[in-house]
Structure 1
Amino acid sequence: MTTDTIDKKYTQSEPSFDFIGHFVRSYRAAKQESLQALADRSGVSRSMIAQIESAQTTPTIVVLAKLANAMEISLGDLVQPPEQALNIRVSEINTENLVSKKDSPFVCHLLNSQTRHFSNEIYHFHFKTSGKTAFAANVAGSTKHIWLEQGSMLMYIANKRVSIKPQQLTSFNAAIPHRFECISTPLAKGLFYVVY
């Protein structure tokens, strides 16, 4: 095996960090910031940033840390390849994420559920006919945020009746039993977000 072959094999297996240059350039474009302004804030020279953006050099961890700090992002977000960093998920309404009872006038789908520092769930709902939901309560310490896209509905929470109108965000203590009722057209539909 010749030296040329060894060099070629090594070069082919070397990871490409071109995405970091694209990231920095996109960041500056979004902020309408010049190379010099980012250089001044980060302590990284203007020429080094230009070389990173044009993929002419692979920056050291120290340089990357300075840039990340100046851009107010984590070092991990800067160096993680886009296909991993973007973490794009698309959810749609289907029978697999239906969480309401079949005979209920209230149809509800769980679109997303995550647990990190806290747990949260996002639901899409709509009334298929006028009617009401059964009483429900979430776990202690939970908060529910309701965004009504269209229609209007009533919410009964403990002994209080609240009118929810479209294009309003309504938040409340979801650990208290509550139910929804839709009595007018257009029928209510929207999203609710539960934080535990």
Structure 2
Amino acid sequence: MGDADEMAVRLASRLAALRTERGWSLDDLAGRSGVSRSTLSRLERAEISPTAALLGKLCTVYERTPSWLLAEVEAGPRVLVRAAEQTVWRDEASRFTRRIVSPPSSGLHAEVIEAVLAPGADIAYDAAPVPGQEQHIWVLEGSLEITLDDRVHELGTGDCLRFRLWGRSRFRCTGADPVRYALVVVLP
């Protein structure tokens, strides 16, 4: 089994554990997340991998950021994380790649993520995983359109957007080349 397969199995197991810890049935989770019971069941059995949008819906229900959730399935927090050891998650369907540069750790309140969206990629999230969470997005290469609720922000290379996320959000690569950006998330 490869690293990606092992990660998918650990993620599936963690998602099942989060639901069980709350005493929810698959039907309960389906009602709270808007994701079908059958999809949730297949996800928890590692038969499918979550898309960015699906992971976002589950993180909202479980009040976690995607990187926080992904960090929970790793071996444990480390002080130094070499580039080759950083968790990389790819959503082929939405053409989105997320690298957890500095995984969250108990006692620390920020994380750094590198994200890459392919040209034309468009990802929408229905709600904030943790309402009011502070985020900073710094575009390293390319152009990115970010919509927070109904307010659109156009960012180019070097631009930084700082905000508290309360509701819906949308990320769209608007250039002919991929957009690469750093996301700093401040945890509560």
TM-score w.r.t. the length of structure 2 is 0.50
Question: Partner of 1:177 in structure 2?
Answer: 168
Of 78, 91, 105, the residue aligned with 1:101 is: 91
Mapped pair 1:157 → 2:142: no
Letter in 2 for 1:151: G
Tell which deviates more after alignment, 154-163 or 123-132: 123-132
Mapped pair 1:131 → 2:107: no
Q: Which structure shows the bigger proportion of residues in strand conformation?
A: 2
Mapped pair 1:114 → 2:104: yes
Q: Deviations over 1:95-123 (max 9, x none)?
A: x7234423222211212123455522211
Q: Is the 8 A contact 2:119 2:179 kept in 1?
A: no
What is the CA–CA distance in structure 2 between the aligned matches of 1:103 and 1:125, rounded to whole Å? 15
Question: Partner of 1:193 in structure 2?
Answer: 184
What is the CA–CA distance in structure 1 between the aligned matches of 2:84 and 2:153, rounded to whole Å? 28
Tell which deviates more after alignment, 154-163 or 178-187: 178-187
Structure 1 alignment gaps of length 5 or more: 1-86
Question: Partner of 1:143 in structure 2?
Answer: 134
CA spacing shift, 1:118–1:138, aligned 2, 3 Å: farther
Question: Partner of 2:41 in structure 1?
Answer: none
How far is 1:93 from its partner? 6.0
TM-score w.r.t. the length of structure 1 is 0.49
What is the CA–CA distance in structure 1 between the aligned matches of 2:129 and 2:155, rounded to whole Å? 19
Larger Rg over CA atoms? 1
Structure 2 alignment gaps of length 5 or more: 1-77
Mapped pair 1:89 → 2:54: no
What is the CA–CA distance in structure 2 between the aligned matches of 1:163 and 1:179, rounded to whole Å? 12
Q: Is the 8 A contact 2:119 2:176 kept in 1?
A: no
Higher RCO, 1 vs 2 (CA within 8 Å, ≥6 residues apart):
2
